[in-house]
Chains A and B, each alone.
Chain A
Amino acid sequence: MSLLSYLINGISLGSVYAIIALGYTMVYGIAKMLNFAHGDVIMVGGYVVFVLASGMGLPPILAVLISMVVCTVLGMVIERVAYKPLRMAASPLAVLITAIGVSYLLQNLALLLFGANTKSFTSVVTIPAIVLAEGQLTISGETIVTIIACIVIMVGLTAFIKKTKAGQAMLAVSEDKGAAQLMGINVNGTIALTFAIGSALAAVAGVLLCSTYPSLTPYTGAMPGIKAFVAAVFGGIGSIPGAMIGGILLGIIEILGKAYISSQMADAIVFAVLIVVLLVKPTGILGKEIQEKV
């Protein structure tokens, strides 16, 4: 029974990673950049909900929606101000370092506004826990909401990309920016849209993460951000189902590692698995092999 409950916890944590990883992977696919600040957008999402729901007493759903809007705008502003001018830069490292700068900026803004001490986050989930097998297995409301949210997002995103013009444009831009431009696709707009969606997802992930692990600091987003990035690479960066699979596997590995091997070593185990996967399949589980043309 305990294995089952660990598995469920793992899937729940993995679902959060998957939602973050989706943002990472979409941005990577389209802008070919590692958005190091993505994790910090999660943290911003958490603080917005904290202020609105716990501070101002707004209904949780409304708080979450506002938080999504705030993060969406934030994501687009970051892209416009900090990343877009560097899109044609001589070195891809330039935009990476700028993203690190944005990450520092968001963390320190939060530090200034909210202080360094941990805020205890009140869960936005009001669904009661499900108790199964005569009390031996409890599935918390947060877990249920997280897993459902993840499935809904996954299905919604896949449909968006397959069925809508904007989604097709995203695919086209990620394949070949130049060709997409020639086909009349608004490349800049498409990239902005990708950042908007990724950031809105980050807000959702932030709320879910803080509801499950209810402590919020300016650095809350950093490690989940890195882990989600690992998950995206793990599944094959640029691939949406890959981010999903990578995220969930990572969550399961982390929780099982914590439970059965060593709680201190959980992170090391996650990273070790990533290394093994990449050494066996250098582009991740669902990643495409790219051959350099001679």
Chain B
Amino acid sequence: MNKMNKTTKQNMVTYAIVIIAYIIVMLLGVTGHISSLMEGLLVPLCIYVILAVSLNLVVGILGELSLGHAGFMCVGAFAGSFFSMCTKEAMPSGLRFLLALLIGAAVAAVFGILIGIPVLRLRGDYLAIVTLAFGEIIKNLMNVLYIGRDETGFHFSMKDSMALGLSPEGKTIINGPQGITGTPHDASFTIGVVLILLTLFMILNLIHSRDGRAIMAIRDNRIAAESIGINVTKYKLMAFTLSASIAGVAGVLYAHNLSTLTALPKNFGYNMSIMILVFVVLGGIGNIRGSVISAVVLTLLPELLRGLSDYRMLIYAVVLIAMMLFNWSPKAVTFRERYSLKRLLSRKETPDNHAAQ
């Protein structure tokens, strides 16, 4: 059918944007046009894109506000990193990293289910604050978690590394606030881009499937969805868990891009969750391609403004507020509709925008 072709085409454009951006970056890299600062940003860019796309599944497609996304990233990061530390010598890096990604995804998914079951019956701002609370708890727990290993096996403590009681040959793997040191540097820009494409593939295809329709139906009208036999709890949990699990993958990527992994307010606190939410909202709630673009632009923006040193975050804040007012204020919306270029050129009614591209 015609509509089918249209959505498939839309999806192809999204994949193409990512692939073309990748090729451009690689070409620039080969010709030496990328500063070392930019190079250091490439993997984080991939991480933010994955996080934004996965959060959009909850915020835009399911229509629930979650402020705990960084918590799932944190769980994934520690689980994946822990696995890599344990198997550092035991297997080749490619296989090890693949398994680490799967483990990060699985552990984050388990947390997604455990948290989702009780909290998803809360609505709106209550859900927002509870997910924020869970994110903070996870971050907090990681700071008091000590796991070590010696020839007798794994040792675990919530007090300090001495309490592990390791033998002299033993090694502390997770060391409380010091986190994990020495995670192998398995992440790369190429792997990051592959993971972005996989994430997009999963989420875009999900949206246009039977499950995706059920999820969006719940977003648009929960009561009507129930009245036609949609299992609200099941699909809410499905969207939430999938989103958590993909955030876990982003966490594994994050952990394997740094030599030291610690759970700080900066990387896994609510501020991080909020930043990802900003990406999602500015990119367009429910607009997956928009999330990709806004994550890239908003990550690069402060770096591009680096020349302005002290003023850059100030400008970022002003730009953020101005963009929100311009995009969402009813007055600005009417103004834009009246004077939109498209309309002036074509003089036609704007065609319907499908909620999820």
Contact = CB atoms under 8 A, between A and B. Distances in A.
Interface of A: 28, 34, 36, 82, 85-86, 88-98, 100-102, 104-105, 108-109, 111-112, 222, 226, 229-230, 233, 237, 262, 264-265, 267-268, 271-272, 274-275, 278-279, 282-283, 292, 294
Contacts of A96: 65, 281
B316 A85 contact: no
B313 A111 contact: yes
Contact of A275 (B121, B130, B271, B330): B130
Interface of B: 59, 65, 118-119, 121-122, 124-126, 128-130, 132-134, 136-137, 140-141, 143-144, 177, 223, 270-271, 274, 277-278, 281-282, 285, 310-311, 313-314, 316-318, 320-321, 324-325, 327-333
Contacts, number: 131
6 contacts: A88-B330, A93-B65, A94-B281, A102-B321, A108-B317, A271-B140
Given A271-B136, A282-B121, A104 B313 contact: yes
Contacts of A105: 314, 317-318, 321
A275 B119 CA distance: 8
A226 B270 contact: yes
Contacts of B310: 111-112
A264 B144 contact: yes
A153 to B, nearest CB: 23
A294 B331 CA distance: 32
A86 B314 contact: no
A292 B223 contact: yes
B321 A262 contact: no
Contacts of B177: 264
A272 B119 CA distance: 12
B320 to A, nearest CB: 4
Contacts of B331: 85
B329 A100 contact: no
Contacts of A94: 281, 324, 327-329
B275 to A, nearest CB: 9
B329 A262 contact: no
A256 B118 CA distance: 27
Given A85-B331, A111-B313, A282-B121, A100 B130 contact: no
B285 to A, nearest CB: 6
A12 to B, nearest CB: 23
B277 A98 contact: no
